Amino acid sequence: MTVITHVQRKSRLAEMVDRPGGVSVGVALAQAKANLDGLKDQALAIISENIGALLAHPTPDIPEALRLDSAYAASSQVIDAASPFALDDLCTAAKGLCDLLDAAPRQGGFDWRIATVHAQAMKLLLSLTPDAPGTAEARIAIMANLSEVLKRKLPMSPQSPA
Amino acid sequence: MATQGDSLRESAVFNLSGAITMVVDDSPFSLTLTAGALAGFGIRPAFTVGRGAEARRILQEKPVDLLLVDTDMPDIDGFELVRWLRRSGPNPNAFTPVIMTASHIRRGRVTEARDCGANFVVTKPFSAAMLLERILWVARDSRPFLEVGDYLGPDRRFRHDDYDGEERRADMIRKKTMEFA
C-alpha cells in the first residue's frame, strides 16, 4: 500500500509551549481544580437528573431504538458530569450500562431491569458518604454485583477501555 | 481515574496562554467543565462550540492551534469533523493537534476512533492532570502525518524502545529534561 508522508512544520502549539512566561504545572492544576470545584454541585445535580431519567417509567409505545438511545444518552451524561470529580465507581457503572445498551438488539428484547439495576446502583453510589464506616465495603459489593451482571449479559466482549 | 501523571513535574513551566483553542461538545455542561480546566492551565478557549457544523465553518475561516472535540454529537460527530479537517488542506488547520474526548465509544465505532486522524483519543473519566498531560504531549508530538489508504493523520506507530547509544535527538533530550511525555 502506498504511504505518503507529509512533513509538516512545527505546530504553533509546539512553538509557544516553551516560550518565556506561562505557568507551572502545580499552579495550573491547582487553578483547574479550583475552577472545577466550583462546578461540582451543578455536576451532581446533572448526575441525579440523569439517574432519575433512567429510573423513570418510559413513555408508552416508545420505539425500542429510541428508548435505547435515550438511556444511552442519559448514562453518557452521567459519565460526562462525573468525570472530573473522581467519581470513578459511578463512571464505571454508567460505562457498563452504556456497553449493555450499545450491545442491545435495536428491534427489542433488551431486559430493561438491567438498566434499572444500574441506575439504582448509581443512585446508591452517589448517596454513600465517603468516610462513613462501611462505605468502602458497600462500594466494593455494588461494583462486584454490577461486574457480575455485565459478565453475564455481555459475554464475549470486554468492557470498553477506561 | 488517573491521578496526576508521574510524568508531570509540578515545577515544570509551560506557556500556552496564546494558544487559539477550540472546544467542541454538544453538552453545554461538558463545554463548561473543559473550559474551566483549560482556564486553569492559562488557556482561554477562543471558541466553545456546540455543533460540528459550526466548528467546521470556523475551522475553514480562522486559525486554530488546538482542538478538543467530543466524539458523540448530533449532525457532524467528532470523528467526521476530524476526518474532514485532516483532508481540508491547504487549510492550515489540517495539521492542528486534536484531542478527542469520549464518555463511551460504541463498539461499532472503535475503528473510526483509531482511524479518524486525531492525535489522541481520551476516554472519560479523566482528571485535569491527565488532560494537561495530553495537551503537553500533543504540543510536543513530532510524529509525521501519514496518508495510508483512507487514513490521513499522525503516524499511529509508537516506538517506546530505549536507544542504547548516546542520545543526540533534541526532542528526546528535551523530553527527558522536562520529564513530560
* CATH code, B137: 3.40.50.2300
Can you give the residue range of the structural domain that contains B29?
Answer: 16-178
Q: Tell me, yes or no, whether B9 lies in a domain.
A: no
B132 part of contact set with chain A, CB < 8 Å:
yes
Q: How many domains does chain B divide into? A: 1
Q: What is the 3-state secondary structure (H, E, C) of chain A?
A: CCEEEECCCCCHHHHHCCCCCCEEHHHHHHHHHHHHHCCHHHHHHHHHHHHHHHHCCCCCCCCHHHHHHHHHHHHHHHHHHHHHHCCHHHHHHHHHHHHHHHHCCCCCCCCCHHHHHHHHHHHHHHHCCCCCCCHHHHHHHHHHHHHHHHHHHCCCCCCCCC
Q: By the 8 A CB rule, do B8 and B132 touch? A: yes
pLDDT band, very low/low/confident/very high, at A161 (cuts 50, 70, 90): very low
| Residue indicated by cell numbers 453538552 | B27
Count the residues in chain B: 181
Q: Tell me, yes or no, whether B25 lies in a domain.
A: yes
Specify the pLDDT at position B1: 35
pLDDT, tens digit (0-9, with 9 covering 90-100), for A86-139: 999 999 999 999 999 999 999 999 999 999 999 999 999 999 988 888 999 999
Name which of A2, A21, A25 is nearest B8 (Cβ-Cβ). A25
Chain A nearest CA to B168, separation (Å):
19
Specify the pLDDT at position B4: 42
Q: Tell me, yes or no, whether B3 lies in a domain.
A: no
Task: Give the C-alpha separation, B103 to A22, whole Å.
Answer: 30
pLDDT, tens digit (0-9, with 9 covering 90-100), for B30-50: 999 999 999 999 999 999 999
Q: Tell me, yes or no, whether B6 lies in a domain.
A: no
Q: Tell me, yes or no, whether B7 lies in a domain.
A: no
Chain A nearest CA to B57, separation (Å):
21
pTM score, whole prediction: 0.86
Instruction: Report the candidate in B79, B89, B19, B90 with the shortest Cα–Cα distance to residue B55.
Output: B79
Q: Tell me, yes or no, whether B84 lies in a domain.
A: yes
Q: Tell me, yes or no, whether B4 lies in a domain.
A: no
Cβ neighbours of A99 in B, within 8 Å? 104, 107
pLDDT, tens digit (0-9, with 9 covering 90-100), for B132-171: 999 999 998 888 888 888 898 888 776 655 667 777 766 6
CB contact under 8 A, B103 and A76: yes
Chain A nearest CA to B89, separation (Å):
11
Q: Tell me, yes or no, whether B91 lies in a domain.
A: yes
CB contact under 8 A, B104 and A23: no
